[in-house]
Amino acid sequence: MTSKRLLTAGVLAACASVLLVSGCSQGSPLPASTSSEQAAPPDASQEPAPDSGDQDTDGSGEGYAFGVDRDQMAEAIETAFSSQSGKARWDGDTLILTVDGSASDTMAGFTECRVLVTLLTEEDSSTIEFPDGSVECQEVLSVLD
């Protein structure tokens, strides 16, 4: 594996890990500012900020963050979920993530699905497979709608 692919996989794994940890955190969001100075609404005459460059725009990365392709994305996700014996593979436009755990748990797949929906494109779907069954991320995350 080239050093660029290793770096890309590492960056994606780090992003997925941050999302995984933040998805598990408890408590309320940070309190609102108590300062009398509130942020002014953006001036309509200002130009929008240039794109940060995180999303691929030339098509080489199929729209995934950091310009990676589908196989690199699966590899990074697999690395991020290695503590759960994670294995990722594509089946058409569906990313299937196999992890330890149980499909019958109350929140089965919720955290994993939150991470995947952030990393994948809107055209992709995702499934979490457990040793005793699987859950579709669209169904798991429908409780948020």
Give the pLDDT confidence of 33-87 residue by residue, as tens digits.
444 444 445 554 555 444 444 444 344 456 888 899 999 999 999 999 999 999 9
**Residue 136 exposure: Cα atoms within 13 Å on the Cβ side:** 6
Asked whether residue 36 is domain-assigned, the answer is no
pTM above 0.95, yes or no: no
Asked whether residue 46 is domain-assigned, the answer is no
Asked whether residue 125 is domain-assigned, the answer is yes
Q: In the numeric block, which tokens belong to residue 9?
A: 């996989």
Asked whether residue 28 is domain-assigned, the answer is no
Look up the domain containing 101 and give its range. Answer: 3-23+54-144
The mean per-residue pLDDT over the stretch 6-18 comes to 55
Give the span between the Cα atoms of 68 and 63, in whole angstroms: 8
Asked if pLDDT for residue 31 goes beyond 80, the answer is no
Number of domains in the chain: 1
Asked whether residue 120 is domain-assigned, the answer is yes
